[in-house]
Amino acid sequence: MATRDALLGVLNETLEPKQFEDYGPNGLQVEGKREVQRLVSGVTASAALIDAAIAARADAVLVHHGLFWRGMDGTLTGWLRERVRKLLAHDINLLAYHLPLDAHPTLGNNAQLGLHMGWGAGAPLAAGSLVFEAQVSPCDAAALAAQLHERLGRAPMWIDGGRPIARLAWCTGGAQGYFQKAIDAGADAFVTGEISEPQAHLARECGVSFFAAGHHATERYGAPALGAYVAAQLGLEHQFIEIDNPA
C-alpha cells in the first residue's frame, strides 16, 4: 500500500510533466482516497473503464486520455458529470498523463509500440521530438501493412510511397500532423494512428509511405507499462483493463 501523494510523486518523477506544454492537465485530475493499494490502468477515462475499475475495487485509475482538455467550458454536465460522479462516489483517484506518456523513452506509447512491433524502442528524431525512429529490416509497404494488421489486430489505412522501407518513423495517436517532420528527417515510412486529407497527397508526392493504424490501437501499450512500473516501485496491485475502441 502507498499514499496517493507517493503514487503521484513517482509518476511525476518518471514522466516529468512540467517539461511539456500539453492540451490538458497532467497528473491528479480527480482526488480520491488517500491510501492506494489497487491500481487500474487504461487508455481513456471513459465510463466503461471507470465502471470496470469500480468492479475491480480500484483505488486509483491511471490513463493516457483524461477528462479535461483545453477549450472545455469548465462545466460538469452530461457525460463528464457522470464520469466524475462515479469516481467521487467510489473515492477513486484519477491520474492522467498525455504527452509525457507519449514521450517517455522506455515506458511511453511510442517506445512501447516500437517494442511490441519488433522495431525496438526507437529514439526521438531530435531532442524533445514526439516522433520516434528506428532502422528496420527492409520491406515494402504491403509487408509493413500486413505486420501492423497482425500485431495490432486492426487493418491499417495506408498509402504506398513506392520505395523500400528501412528507416521508419512513428508517433502514436492523432499525430498525422507530424508527417512532414518524418519526411524532412529522411524516413521511408511514417506510422501513426490517424490520417487526414493532406497526408495521402504528401505520401504520393514525397515517396514516403503513410500508415494510419488506429488511435487506440497504437496507444494501448504505454499505460500498462507505466502502471506495472509504478506498481512495482510502490508495492501496489496493478491491472490493465482494455476497453475496445475501433477508432
Q: Per-residue pLDDT tens for 109-153?
A: 999 999 999 999 999 999 999 999 999 999 999 999 999 999 999
> Which segments within the chain are labelled E, that is strand?
2-3, 27-30, 35-36, 38-44, 60-65, 93-96, 123-124, 132-139, 157-159, 165-170, 189-192, 209-212, 237-240
Q: Are residues 161 and 203 in the same domain?
A: yes
Residue 245 lies in a domain: no
Count of structural domains, the chain: 2
Mean pLDDT of the chain: 98
Residue 104 lies in a domain: no
> What is the Cβ-side half-sphere exposure of residue 239, based on CA atoms within 13 angstroms?
17
pLDDT tens sequence across 175-202: 999 999 999 999 999 999 999 999 999 9
Tell me, what's the pLDDT at 217?
Answer: 98
Share of the chain above pLDDT 70, in %: 100
Residue 149 maps to which CATH number?
Answer: 3.40.1390.30
Residue 86 belongs to domain spanning: 4-98+219-240
Q: Are residues 14 and 66 in the same domain?
A: yes
Q: Which three cell numbers stand for residue 240?
A: 490493465
Q: Are residues 39 and 87 in the same domain?
A: yes
Tell me, what's the pLDDT at 111?
Answer: 98
Residue whose grid cell is 465502471: 51
Angle between helices 109-117 and 222-234 (to 10 degrees): 110
Average pLDDT for residues 16-30, to the nearest whole number? 97
Is 64 annotated to bind a ligand? Reply is: yes
Q: Are residues 126 and 209 in the same domain?
A: yes
Share of the chain above pLDDT 90, in %: 100
Is 149 annotated to bind a ligand? Reply is: no
Name the pTM for this structure: 0.97
Dihedral sign, Cα of residue 206, residue 207, residue 213, residue 219: negative
Tell me, what's the pLDDT at 106?
Answer: 98
Is 102 annotated to bind a ligand? Reply is: yes
Query: 137 — phi, psi (to 5°)?
Result: -60, 130
Q: Which three cell numbers stand for residue 38?
A: 489497487
